[in-house]
Chain A
Amino acid sequence: MHLLETRDLTHIYRGDVHALEGVNFAAERKSRIAVIGPNGAGKSTLFKHLNGILKPTSGEVLVRGEPITKVNQNEVRKFVGIVFQNPDDQIFSPTVEQDVAFGPINIGLDETTVAHRVEEALHLLGIEGLRERVPHHLSGGEKKRVAIAGILAMEPQVLVLDEPTAGLDPQGVADLVAFVNRLPEEYGMTVIFSTHHLDLVAEMADYVYVMDKGMIVGTGTVEEVFARPELLARTRLDVPPIPKLIRSLRENGVAIDMAYTYEDAKRSFLNAYARRG
């Protein structure tokens, strides 16, 4: 049994728009999964199925082996938290604190537990200082953190992030990557995210799904997917600079180990130079 699974998931929007066709997606505990694909590939539509916001036209979505029904819907939404791309859609309470408390109150927790959850979530994101602030005075990066805190306060097992790095400055992106990478290790959470920043995929994911035109057109580990440049080019994506450069070097006879993340690449280059010397 997978933690989260879709079987032959098909979704047709009104007006006969085929957004998803026969999608088989699975996520295990503590895994880090990237879903990549061009605009309009169906990534967001897939995500909205994972907690029952959208209902499949055909096929099924299984959460811990059970289909989503009206009865377990709230249970599922506690279990699978989704952070949307635009934090403004998510933040609507007058203050940051109230917004983070919104989810916990809705799932019927008592006041002490709500306060505790809010405390934890604000602390985890390092935004205790924003507690009394009003949302429209926050910067883009701060809003993003508040949006994530609002979901984490519900203590989900699966965190789904739709384009989490969109609109963040480089330091904001680096902070987010470091933060998200802590979640599986420290809290046993599963992280699923979509992105157009392909260089982040190696930093943030263990497994990759490539989507195009509502279908999954490729899956595999980061190494497996980035070893298929023709697939990425076909789906309007590209191999990130680091593996691309190392591949060209290898093709030109340079003895260097393949690497995907910055740290691994640094090691490969140093080793290659050491061997030369």
Chain B
Amino acid sequence: MIDDLYFIEKYAYQTSIVHRLDARIKLLIALAAIVAIVAVPYSTKVYELGAVLFALFIVLWAASRLPPTVYLKRLILILPFGIFLVGFQAFVKNPYYDVFHTIATLPLGIEIYAESVEFASILLVKFVISISFIILLSSTTKMQDMIEAAGRLGLPREFTLTLGMMVRYIFVFAEMFNRIRTAMATRCFDPLDRTLPYRYRLHQIGYTVGTIFIRSYEQGERTYTSMLCRGYGANAGLYVRKKPLRTQEIVFFAATLGFVVLSAVLIYVQP
């Protein structure tokens, strides 16, 4: 399971016109799409904007030349979080409607309302569109590029440095965890081994967790010392090289941003 961590960016390391696009542009377009879909008030107009933005997403995904299964897998992984909230809406009244029509009555006095189902589906559209753009961003942009882009867009260096170190040390700890797990297996310990007493196994797992905490604390101290040795102080920060945007990138960004904003506004103002 933890081995998969090393391949989390497998798709981001491929190349295509979307992959090569400056991370700032991808970040802002994803943000624009999310803001647009979230900003349109609750009404059936969300369906229309949802369809337009999803079409944009499909075009961009196709241009990234990633298989559709990658998108579907990631979507299915995230969906449960939203589905629970969305599904729950069908059973309760909400402040967006005045009259509620019951379409089904379940035991224990639970009722399903037509208006609530509509509200839930609008919520689902907003959710899926937002998630789709996040998946597009994360599947085509390396973590390091994303942090640099945030830095170039003006995220304070305290944040970029911390985020950069987080990315680095996630992998250090995954490796540490793997080595401890290997060392345990060498001495025949398997947390799922039923021949060992339950309490004993629990104890050993507790020790492992404790050890990882102590070692991460120690790692932190060592890293901090080594940072001080290289002059870390109030002015330190992640080195973010200046990188001018190419003309095509600016044109693409302006066109896409215009498309998103215009479709949101037009759909909103239409009677």
A92 touching B196 by the CB < 8 A rule? no
**Contact indicator A89/B180 (Cβ below 8 Å):** yes
Q: Which residue of chain A is the closest to B10 with respect to CB atoms?
A: A15
- Encoded as 1 (CB less than 8 Å from any B CB) or 0, chain A from 105 to 116 comes to 111100000000
Bound-complex Cα distance A82 to B186 (A)? 7
The reply to whether B180 and A77 contact each other, CB–CB distance below 8 Å, is: no
Number of interface residues of B (CB under 8 A): 27
Q: When the two chains form the complex, which single residue of B179, B188, B196, B204 contacts A77, counting CB atoms closer than 8 Å?
A: B188
Q: Are B182 and A108 in contact (CB under 8 A)?
A: no
Q: Mark B1-27, 1 if CB is under 8 A from A, else 0.
A: 001001100100000000000000000
Please report the C-alpha to C-alpha distance between residue A167 and residue B83 in the assembled complex, in whole angstroms: 53
**B-chain residues with CB within 8 Å of residue A77 when the two chains form the complex:** 185-188
Complex Cα distance, B7 from A86, in Å, reads 25
Residue interface bits B199-220, CB-to-A below 8 A is 1, else 0: 0100010011011001100100
What CA separation (Å) do A92 and B188 show in the bound complex? Answer: 15
Enumerate A69-108 residues with CB–CB distance to B below 8 Å. Answer: 74, 77-78, 81-82, 84, 86, 88-90, 92-94, 102-103, 105-108
Question: B182, A94: Cβ atoms under 8 Å?
Answer: no
- CB within 8 A of A84: which of B7, B182, B196? B182
Contacts of B196 in A (CB 8 A): 105-106, 108
Q: A15-B7, A94-B207 are in contact. Are A102 and B187 (CB under 8 A)?
A: yes
Chain A residues with CB under 8 Å of B96's CB are: none
Q: Does B189 contact A (CB under 8 A)?
A: yes
The answer to whether A106 and B208 touch (CB under 8 A), given A84-B183, A89-B183, A136-B214, is no
Given contacts A53-B182, A77-B188, A151-B186, contact A102 B204 (CB under 8 A): yes
7 residue pairs of the A-B complex, CB under 8 angstroms, read A53-B182, A81-B186, A89-B176, A89-B179, A89-B183, A94-B207, A94-B210
